Structure formats: structure tokens, C-alpha cells
A and B are shown apart, each in its own frame.
Chain A
Amino acid sequence: MVGYFLNLIPLKWAYWRHRFMKKRICVLEDSEEILEIIKIVLEDENYDVQGFGTVAAFMANYLNLKPDLCLLDVMLPDGNGIEVCEAIKKHPESAEIPVVVMTANSRMDKMRENCEANDFIAKPFDINDFANRINSLIFVNV
């Protein structure tokens, strides 16, 4: 009997987490000022925000954090946001996580075709539009 329940615990845990815990967003952005703005905006929407300034740091930690959404900048000191997106989508544990790519460079439009991000947001963004998009992506699954 305990074993049965024990089997249920991971499911329930997920359910509880899903229903009762704050949604978590992992952000990859090297500009500290933009990261701060994003944090304020998303925390206002009741999200838990974790930010990383380098690809290395992000890749090392994001899986453990089990984010509900990944928000990626493109131009990073040690890597490319598009590559990170591909990595996330390829990894079995994170393939389902929605990924949003922020870009300031319109030339990157070409890159869109190569990458499987769920959405692209152009910088500078309107914070309300930004919040809406994030919200819609996270709560699509619910």
C-alpha cells in the first residue's frame, strides 16, 4: 500500500507543484540592467525568476531548476542564444519546455528558421506585451 502511494508521490508532487507552487522562469541575459527589469516585470506576475549571465552558467543549472519557461537572449559573451535553444529542445528532459528568444538584431530573422523557439520577442519590448506572451506560453499547458 505504501508503495502504491509512494508511486503516486512523484505525480502528486508534480500536481502540487503545478497547482500550488510559483511558476519558475530561467533567464539567460548578460545585461544586468535588462535582467533586473525582466525580474521586476515577471515577479510582478508572480513568477520565480532565475537569471544567468553566461551560456555556461545557464547550461550548468537550468535542468536542476526545472523551469516552466526559458527566456534566452541571443548575443552572449560565451555563446549564442540560438544554440542554447536548440540544446534545450534536443535534451529529452527539457524538450517540452517553452523557449522564448529575445533579439535586438533584426538580421537574425534568418536565424528564426533554423531554431525551434516557441516565440521571439524583439528588443526593446513593451513590458505588458512581454508579460502577456510569457503568460500565454506557460498557461497553454494548463
Chain B
Amino acid sequence: MSAATTAEPAFVAKTKAGRVTDFVDSRVGGSGILREFGRKVFPDHWSFMFGEVALYSFVILLLSGTFLTFFFDPSMAETHYDGSYVPLKGVEMSVAYSSSLDISFDIRGGLFMRQVHHWAALLFVASIAVHMLRVFFTGAFRKPREMNWVVGSVLLILAMAAGFTGYSLPDDLLSGNGLRIIDGVIKSIPIVGTYISFFLFGGEFPGTAIISRLYMLHILLVPALILLMIVLHLFMVVVHKHTQYPGPGRNDNNVVGYPLGPVYAAKAGGFFFIVFGVLALMAGFFTINPIWNYGPYDPSPVSAGTQPDWYIGFVDGALRLMPGVINGFHFEYVIFGFTLTLNVLLPALVPAGILFTVMFMYPWIERWITKDDREHHVLDRPRNAPTRTAIGMAGFVWYCVMWAAAGSDLIATHFHVSLNDVTYWLRTLFFIGPIIAFIVTKRVALALQRKDREIALHGRETGRIVRLPHGEFIEVHAPLDEYKRYKLVGFESPKVLPAEPNEHGVVTGKEKRRAFLSKWFFEDRVAPATPAELEAAHGHGHAAVEASEDSKSLTH
């Protein structure tokens, strides 16, 4: 209709709504935008919705966070608490902590909003993590989406930064202990560490500046950067179009799914309220971060069970796993009067550094090994990329070992085992866990591929046992329908790409390394059943099922 309106200047809408729409449309071209976006097709799959969960959590964070800023005072000035929580009455504390307590006990709806905000923060990072795992294991980071993978990774780091700066704001004992650890980590950086720490805290820890500084980062810089990255991320999603799972009629040149308008938009809009509802229920019924339990921050007390929120947990866990001394070998040296504490520096920065570096680089690593420069819009089933899946699981297990280590004390108390044993086991798993995960995952993926191939070629087992006239028992296999079979055979299985000479006819060392990795990736590939194989097996099987006299073919 709008296209028609621009063509006929004399058009006058009949209704009031129509006139308003026409007014807007003739100025900003809204209908064109709407038509373009409304026709955007999104494939429907539950695993595609975690990005949405993250986006909605972020919106909820903005809303609840705005409410909290009305009442939170980030000052580290000292005061005596005079609110309604009796066990802290008259206790000396910072204004920041006091105002957080007031939000919790004396402002209507304050505790609920605080809990919504904190639960939403945990869900925000968790949904980003799950979203990234989905993207990784389905190979959605491949061309043309490498840059969007990087933007997403930046978003993960920003989300962690937002979480950590927020976690520290109430200035309670728990968050203060967390800041103390961060201060220790910063100070362990050779030469510049102390300077950075003093710069950040405005003097010796804890100083009187850190809360207001973190507050500015938390409500201004970090959310602005997140917003910017979200815009970039979504822009690229629109440009690239959404990926889809393999299936009949789906290829790299189309997207099969529902258009955004009206069904998908309604679903997505409704989903926002579902996420909001789930978070509101959690906030209403489950305590999160009971700051009144922890008391005001004071550098001397440390509470048992002090942990960071889950997304920083793996760094805390790595710190817990690091031994101070191994068989008399110390990790702390004094060189020219400078103390080098490797027992803090190594665990705090190296595992996280490795994880994030590999995460950022992975699309290019795989691209280099496979020399695959084509666009991919159809996803891989994880089993059909066994080595990638195995690498992902190795990283995942490595992360989880460190993550579990952050709760080592709770594992010890709740399962009645020795804290030392938990630490020894996790230290062992830190090194061999990823290797075991790699081997097991790869074998499982290959086995599933072989099973798929078997089913594609010979049909599925029906469980129907038939006794043949000469006494033999056989199980009847039923052929798959074409749609199901497509899923089992319609995938790419890259082959090993041997080293190739460059334009000068030289096989470079780098190329040899690439060829070695290519072999490592693909040497034990399971090829999808080819049409010829299918034809052979199919004809074979059919004849067998229909005319069950032929016992030999049935026993395949």
C-alpha cells in the first residue's frame, strides 16, 4: 500500500491511523524498512534462541539497573548504618554498602529489583556462553561470519567486565574479597603491576575511590560498549542472514524458515516477556547475593566460601589449583628487588589468555587448515566435524575443571571428601581432562557418523525378528524415508589436504605444518554414503525386505 501512496500523491488515507501511518511513511519510508525486515526469514530451531535470551537479559539489565541507580550512592565515605536490618544496626560501613542495604530493606521493590538485576546478569553471561557454544559446535563461525564471531567474543568479555564491575559495587565483604584478589593479580604483573594497581585504586588498596570508579565503568562505559557491539552484531546478522541446520531443500543459497513479520516477530516479542517472567520469578523466590549476610568490607576478615560470580569462577579456580611450592620448587622470586610471583601470575592470566586467544583465532585457524574459502550458511551437525567438536569439548572440559575448582571447598563439604583430594584430582584433570575429552569426543563423533552411514545404507533396525524357513533368525531393517536419509548423507566431509607447493614451486615449512594439521583433522574421516553406495545398498535391501527368502542380504 505504501508503495502505492508514493506513486499517487493525491492519496488520502481513510482512517486516522492510516493518515498517521502515511505521514510517517512519506517522511522516513517506514514501510520500506518494515517490508524489508518483515520479510527477513529466520529458521526455527530452539538452539537459535540463546542470542535472543542474551539480548533480552540485557534489556532487563538496563531497565532494572536504571531503577537501582536512583537509589545507589557509590561513595566510600564512612557512615553508621541506621536502616531496618537489625544485625547491622550501628555498624560502621561505607555509604555504598549502606545504600545497597537501603535498596534491599527500605526502598519499596528495591530488593526485588536488585535480585532481578543480579539474576539477569548471571543469565546474560550464561546465555552468551551457551549461544557461543552453539555457534562453535555447529560451525556457524565460518565464512562469512568470522567477524561476527569476534564481535560476539568481545561481547562475552564485555559482559564479564560488566558483571565484575557490578559485583564489586555494594562494597560488602564478599565483593571486597573479590577486589582484593583482582588487586593481587594486577600486582603480580611484573614491573607495571604495582603502578596499575595504585592508578586503579587511587593509592593503596582499597583506598576511597574504587567504588565510584567502578560505578562509572559499570553504568556508562561498559554498557555503552555492549550496546555498540550488539548493534554491530545484529547488523551483521541481518547482512549475513541466519544460518540453518542441514535438511532437504536447504543449501548455502537459501534460508528456510518463517519471515520475521508477523509470526516470528510475535514469537520473539512474546519470548522477551517469557524471559522477563522467568527472571522475575527467580528474583521473587530465590535470594541472590544476600549482601546483608556478608557485612561491610574490611580488609581483615575473609569469609569461607568466598567465590566470584560464575563467569569469573574459572579464573578463581585456576588460582586455587596453582601450588605455591612443588617439591621445594618455589614459584616466587625476588629479582633485583622486584618480586615475581608466578604462582599468582601464571594461573590468573595464562589459562584465560589461552582460552580467549584460541576463541578469537579459531575461525582463522580452521580456515587456514582447510583452505576453505567458500561461504557456509548450512550448519554442521557436531558429529560431522569430529575434530572441531573434539577441540571444542577439550576446551569446554578444561574450562569446567577450572570452574569446578572455584567451588572446591563446597565440593569437599557437600560430598564429604577431602579438600586436598579434590584439589589433587582437579590438578590432574586440568592437564589430562582436555586430552581425555578430545579422544572420547572424537571417537563418539566418528562412531555416530558410522552409525549414520550404516542406517543410511541399510535402514533402521525395526526390532522385528523373523525366523527363516531354514531356521535362521534375522532382524528386519526398514529403509528410511528420503527426508530422514538426506540428513544422514547430505553433509560435507572435507578430506586431508596434502601440502601444496606455492607459486614458486616450493613447499614451505608453514604449508607442511598446515598439511600436518589437515591430516590430524581429517585423516580418520567417515565419508557420507555416496549415491552409488546408496543405490547399491538400497536396491539390495529392498529386494531383501520384500522378498525375504534371500536370507544373505537380510543378515547384512
**Does A pair with B?**
no
A residues near B, CB below 8 A? none
